[in-house]
Structure 1
Amino acid sequence: MQWDPGGATESKSKLYIYLRFLRIEQTFFSLPMAYMGAFVAIKKIPPIYILFLIFLSLFFLRIAGMTNDNLADRDIDAKNPRTRTRPLVTGKITVKEAKLLIIISLIAFFISAFFVNFYAFILSPLVALVVMTYPYMKRYTAFANYQIATVQGLAVFSGAVASLGLFVTSFSQLILEIPWLFVIATIFWAVGFDLYNHIPDAEFDKKMGLHSFAVLLGNKALPFAGINQILSVALAFAGDYFYHLGYIAYSATILHGLIMAYAYYLASRGDFGRAFYYNIYSSVVLGIGVILAVVFS
């Protein structure tokens, strides 16, 4: 299995190397989920400046988290045939460059959160902690798969905080009005696509003492990913109903589930690369569909 979303060949430009290193396309795949949280939480279009700040916060935190993940796993990636072309392994990006990128990105994230609202800024260290500790958690427990999935759920949560912070008067009110059904649905969805990244490496991870549900469950890991995604679709339907989002959201959720089902089919045939990306496409469909449902409601 040679597929690797973070690999980069030595013949490419420095810009290309950085884009592959950061898996920049996945930032844009996460953005509709953050906007979904922002729209559903207040049932209307948030101010443009809030949408822009959500983008900045997500962009900088993802850069910090992805760089930290690559830095933490540099020695492990060098031993894995699938990940040997990652820029920190090949030296196309240096350790010093990676550390500087983490520092700059975290500072930019906290500054962005400050300008969003008070609640976003107060919660930003907790969000950053979840993101930055993931690469170390997988050295101890298979539930690291749920931690990285929680990072995706936090995109929905953070988008909701960004818009709700303009209207709520207390922290308890903020927490109560978060669209939790979509937050949790996103977590279950993300477990599935994260396992598509881990299942091909299960034997290698086991030898290296790394933990995931792919290692823990063996050949039952793929059905486990499917169960999580069924739960994701069920919770998304519940969110459509509970938040009164209407037929556009229901249609988007159906398509979301069908794309995930196709991704599962691809994974069952060993095509984890395409399965990974189709699973991400499904989240874009859900996020945009729910956003449109709010806009036209």
Structure 2
Amino acid sequence: MVLNNRIRSKLKTYGELVMFSHTLFSLPFALMAMFLAADGLPSLGLILWILLALFAGRNGANALNRYVDAEFDARNPRTAQRHIPSGSVKRNEALYITIVCYILFVFAAAQINTLCLLLSPVALILFTLYSYTKRFTWLCHVILGITCAGAPVGAWLAVRGQFELVPLVFAAIVTLWVSGFDIIYGTQDIEFDRAVGLFSIPARFGYRGALWIARAFHFMMWILLIALYFITNLGIVYIVGVMLSGVLLVLEHYMVEPSHREKMNFASYHINQIISMLLLIATTVDVFIF
């Protein structure tokens, strides 16, 4: 019993390390793409391999990010209590998690189709590259968005086995969406990033400039969500979901306040989790019911 408790505790700690709950960012868009590509549900086996690839890729990338950024996390008062700086997880443990997840990702891709297997190294390069981008470019937020955009593209390719317009629109949507809220989140670290020589849009353009860029990204994302309605067979329920997501995006930008950590977490993370789930529900209803 004691051993089981220790294992559960360790798994919980690892889940917190890789921010497992944040899977709600890219997963809904991947499911949306999967449902549209299959015009319903693909086979159960394919669904399971897609989910394994998504979970392995995302969690491996997050573990690597914690491994790579451990030194900066320890120096930043906002992140000093994260698992590696605080000592609750050893730095090499994060690296081992990354390796296992990367192996699982390639294995899952191999089970899906040849195209996904051939493209899996590209995904791994993006997963790995992002963790180093703040050291040399303020476009790090966009690179994170591009990395996350691989989720819906990969789900589409898993079902259809070919590139088409719809997954490219999904990729643009996710890129702009993730870039936008990551910029908002990054406004908390403007002074720290400048002091230690890290690059970010907030550090480069300042607080107000960064927020205007984030607003522009989210406005373009919202326009593309509407465009998706015209290039697919989605209906009125989806449009209602898009309209509501627009309201939530406005609320997100209204709430931004870097000095208030809980408010920033809610604006950057929780509202966007609601947005992605709202769009998934609306898409699912249109695909399976109407």
TM-score by length of 2: 0.91
Question: C-alpha separation between the residues in 1 aligned to 2:47 and 2:285?
Answer: 15
Instruction: Give the AA of the match of 2:281.
Output: I
Cα distance in 1 between the residues matched to 2:42 and 2:116: 15
- Answer whether contact 2:67 2:91 (CA < 8 A) is retained: yes
Matched, 1:284 2:277: yes
CA contact (8 A) 2:184 2:210 kept: no
Q: May I ask how many residue pairs the two structures share in their alignment? A: 278
Counterparts of 2:82 and 2:50 in 1: how far apart (Å)? 29
Distance 1:80 1:235 in 2: 36
RMSD (CA atoms)? 1.7
Question: Which has the larger displacement, 226-235 or 42-51?
Answer: 42-51
How far apart are the structure 2 equivalents of 1:194 and 1:120?
27
Whichever residue aligns with residue 192 of structure 1, its letter is G
- 1:215 corresponds to 2:206: no
Residue 257 of structure 1, CA deviation = 1.4
AA aligned opposite 1:281: I
Tell me, yes or no, if structure 1 residue 198 matches structure 2 residue 186.
yes
Kept in 1, the 8 Å contact 2:56–2:105? The answer is yes
Q: Which residue of 2 aligns with 1:236?
A: 225
CA distance in 1, matches of 2:42, 2:247: 29
Rounded to whole Å, the distance in 1 between the matches of 2:31 and 2:99 is 26
User: Residue 296 in 1 paired to residue 284 in 2?
Assistant: no
Instruction: For structure 2, list consecutive stretches of 5 or more residues without a partner in the other structure.
Output: 1-7
> Deviation per CA, 1:96-125, whole angstroms, max 9, x where unpaired?
212211111111111011111111111111
Instruction: Work out the percentage of aligned pairs sharing the same amino acid.
Output: 27
Aligned partners of 2:24 and 2:276 also within 8 Å: no
Aligned mates of 1:80, 1:45 — CA distance in 2: 45
Counterpart amino acid of 1:260? L
State the alpha-carbon separation in 2 of the partners of residues 85 and 16 from structure 1.
16
Distance in 1, matches of 2:107 and 2:239, equals 37
- Give the Cα separation in 2 of the matches to 1:193 and 1:36: 20
- Per-residue deviation, 1:268: 5.1
Letter in 2 for 1:231: M
From 273, 278, 281, the counterpart of 2:265: 273
Could you tell me how far apart the structure 2 residues matched to 1:150 and 1:201 are?
22
Q: Does 1:58 align with 2:16?
A: no
Distance in 1 (CA, whole Å) between partners of 2:274 and 2:127 is 22
2:27 match: 31
| 8 Å contact kept, 1:38–1:164 | no
Matching residue within 178, 188, 198 for 2:176: 188
Aligned-residue offset at 1:256 = 1.5
Q: Which residue identity lines up with residue 179 of structure 1 in the other structure?
A: P
Counterpart of 2:147, as a letter, is V
Specify the alignment match of 1:246 in structure 2: 235
Larger mean CA deviation between 249-258 and 174-183 belongs to 174-183
Aligned to 1:72: 68
The TM-score normalised by the length of structure 1 is 0.89
1:49 maps onto 2:42 in alignment: no
Shift of 1:177: 5.1
Counterpart position of 2:122:
126
Instruction: Provide the rounded CA distance (Å) in 1 between the counterparts of 2:58 and 2:246.
Output: 26
The answer to whether the Cα contact below 8 Å between 1:30 and 1:284 also exists between their aligned partners in 2 is: no
Residue 92 of structure 2 aligns to which amino acid in structure 1? K
Q: Distance in 1 between matches of 2:45 and 2:125?
A: 26
Distance in 2 between residues matched to 1:28 and 1:233, nearest whole Å: 18
Separation of aligned partners in 2, 1:255 and 1:96: 43
Question: C-alpha separation between the residues in 1 aligned to 2:165 and 2:284?
Answer: 17
Q: Unpaired runs of 5+ in structure 1?
A: 1-11, 166-173
Q: Deviations over 1:210-247 (max 9, x none)?
A: 11111111021112111110110100100111113111
**Could you tell me how far apart the structure 2 residues matched to 1:280 and 1:128 are?**
24
Match of 2:87 among 60, 73, 91: 91
Task: Give the partner amino acid of 2:192.
Answer: F
